[in-house]
Chains A and B, each alone.
Chain A
């Protein structure tokens, strides 16, 4: 049945791209999955489990392994790894996309395009007062994810020692209209607090401080957990102004505490970086004549066969990407069936 239909091109194989292509394939549509990296899975494939004391914290990072395991049931999905899209041409019916990558150059025809190109973690170098590149023990939360996944424990880049005091700075690159990010990235409070919990579970003596504006509700049991989270960590409802190296290798900040500016220092600092549009976004916008949402991400053009799914359309958790992917599959099919 699937042979008679046009294929659907899915760009990006993170949580959204994988979910959407499997949903479409299960519903009888041919999918072509193009991924610029050398492996499937996107960002989430590099995240750590955040379970605490044998209890899942519902971050959803392991779901990507589930998706990849299920992906084996769909040999009919054509996968192009290490492949980019040079050009997309609109035809009377559908599109021709010129793929360029590991398998050489190839033109493929498709009836609809699903952009699941994901996000880019905010680059802290864009915010000069963080002095990110000159403070060795300041890392991003993405780096912490990888650290915990690959080494189980946190360590300081400067000397490999385990930090005893850690500070998380929230909203780095989020809620930042000046830099074109006028949105809450939705995921940072969740990942930061879950990782902080995990860190404390692994090394109970670790003292963890949070600099924050508003802590966002994440997960279903937030209201019960928030009370104990408030006890577990030190909470400072400010974002520091200056960041500097202190005592040789510690991370210092100046911050307002109880109406006075004080300097505090930590063994390590984690920047809870937000989600920003990918560097490819502009290319796709130009190729497909797409406009930008008020949050600065790609807007779809569903009436003309272009769909944007997952965090390519705006900040989104793994959980929401999965829902969004399933929802988009229905809209793509409606388009393919000519129902719209």
Chain B
């Protein structure tokens, strides 16, 4: 075993509190961090020893964990920086939740951000404010992160003797101490209304809100001096470009972590690229307080893993078969292929999903133990001596294979099953399926592919790829009129043993 030298500097990208706190935490724990700061003036509270690059924008990131090369545009100059890991820690953008915001902003309407500025004394309220109405989104899909801000603002207004009302649809209190904060706002005199409909008009310069109190079933109207709109947390403005540069997944809203529990807590599809705080998802204060130290652990664990990673090739590549078509480069979900005049496979970035091997049109890439000849052999050998028309199963190691492994070997269920473990559904090649049917003396009754559920694939797209492969082979077999083998794609998870048992028993 050959220990690697790992660059342990951490590059933090950000524009606010999260990035500053993160850099400091990394520094305190003994890691060198440097900060790519979006703004032109240095952030406050950065201790000496943390280098800060001002007006900096990442334009390219090559390499792998322990050995990244970043190209940065900093104050109109391109610079190059080396780093072992990259952490994205931008603040989120906020957007007022309510439709009135789309109309020209009335002076009696403020956003929560405005209200916070007023409370900090950075902005003045015009006129005498005695009554304030807080409006949250009315579709029931607010977040604890947003209600936390609202409750805090309410408490500050109540402290100033201002009468507060709050209208929302579902009170979001699912975070540490948030129910207690909500309780303090209620006990302090703020009256909360729940409804999914209201109207707002402006009379004599003041906002007038009409709605029904759903408990009394009575029309209520509040004439306020100020209406304060809650805000949704949106992905920071720099994220769309950054995700392209980094090649990382986002969720539907555009936050920079896929909606995939396998990325938890702070990982992306690219090993060594982490995402922390409001770049990852809308977070409460408590969430952020956990995520910052969690980021430190995550990167230290990764460096320790990388240092002890055995230096051995798991990918074999046939340069003569390669057509330089870039399919592997484009299909790799983990940014593990660096393309020069040929693909270079980055051992520490590769997660051994085999997707490149399944996509390569010339079959120039092989993943160790998944070579097509070996699988062909396995199928042929395995099927000798089976007691009836068997079932051939290809099972992802994370889901289907765990279930099959949990079935005791003496179970009669296994007697008719021959199964092959795949590192990921994405490894499944058309050829494996055709071999399973055609390359043996006996024709199987069923060929099943047990891969992970969509969005629960470690490689993101592996299971989608497996499903597509199965569908393609199915339609090919249909077109040639082959009906002796039932071929199925079944998605599953390791905790679905009973369901899979039933499906297998149905053979």
Contacts and interface: CB of A to CB of B under 8 A. Distances in A.
A323 B290 CA distance: 6
A51 B500 CA distance: 14
A27 B264 contact: no
Interface in A269-303: 294-295
A1 B496 CA distance: 41
B140 A226 contact: yes
A224 interface: yes
B384 interface: no
A55 interface: yes
A151 B454 contact: no
Interface in A24-70: 26-28, 47-49, 51, 54-56, 58-63, 65-66, 69
Interface residues on A, range: 35 or more
A220 B259 contact: yes
A171 to B, nearest CB: 11
Interface stretch (A82-90, A103-111, A125-133, A329-337): A329-337
A81 interface: no
Contact of B498 (A63, A152, A189, A214): A152
A259 B217 contact: yes
A327 interface: yes
A200 interface: no
A56 B291 CA distance: 24
Interface stretch (A114-122, A157-165, A178-186, A246-254): A178-186
A186 B454 contact: no
B183 A217 contact: no
A218 interface: yes
Interface string B438-461: 000000000000001111100000
Given A56-B493, A62-B456, A327-B293, A184 B252 contact: no
B120 interface: no
B141 A324 contact: no
A56 B455 contact: yes
B28 A334 contact: yes
B179 interface: yes
A28 B29 CA distance: 14
A221 interface: yes
Interface stretch (B79-87, B170-178, B220-228, B352-360): B170-178
Interface in A239-259: 259
Interface stretch (B48-56, B296-304, B370-378, B476-484): B296-304
A216 interface: yes
Given A189-B174, A221-B252, A226 B139 contact: yes
A216 to B, nearest CB: 4
A43 B179 CA distance: 24
B301 A149 contact: no
A183 B179 CA distance: 5
A79 interface: no
Given A23-B297, A56-B455, A329-B297, A184 B264 contact: no
Contacts of A325: 294
Contacts of A51: 453, 456, 491-493, 496
A326 interface: yes
B62 to A, nearest CB: 26
B472 to A, nearest CB: 17
Nearest to B281: A220
B176 A152 contact: no
B453 A65 contact: no
Given A214-B171, A224-B252, A295-B180, A328 B495 contact: no
A19 to B, nearest CB: 9
Given A58-B456, A184-B173, A318-B261, 17 more contacts: A58-B455, A62-B399, A65-B494, A149-B498, A182-B183, A184-B179, A216-B144, A221-B252, A222-B141, A223-B139, A259-B217, A319-B261, A327-B293, A328-B293, A330-B25, A330-B300, A333-B297
21 contacts: A48-B496, A49-B494, A56-B452, A56-B453, A58-B261, A62-B456, A65-B495, A150-B498, A175-B179, A183-B177, A184-B178, A214-B172, A217-B142, A223-B141, A226-B141, A320-B290, A323-B266, A327-B290, A327-B291, A330-B300, A334-B28
Interface of A: 23, 26-28, 47-49, 51, 54-56, 58-63, 65-66, 69, 149-152, 175, 182-184, 186, 189, 214-224, 226-227, 230, 237, 259, 294-295, 314, 316, 318-320, 322-331, 333-334, 339
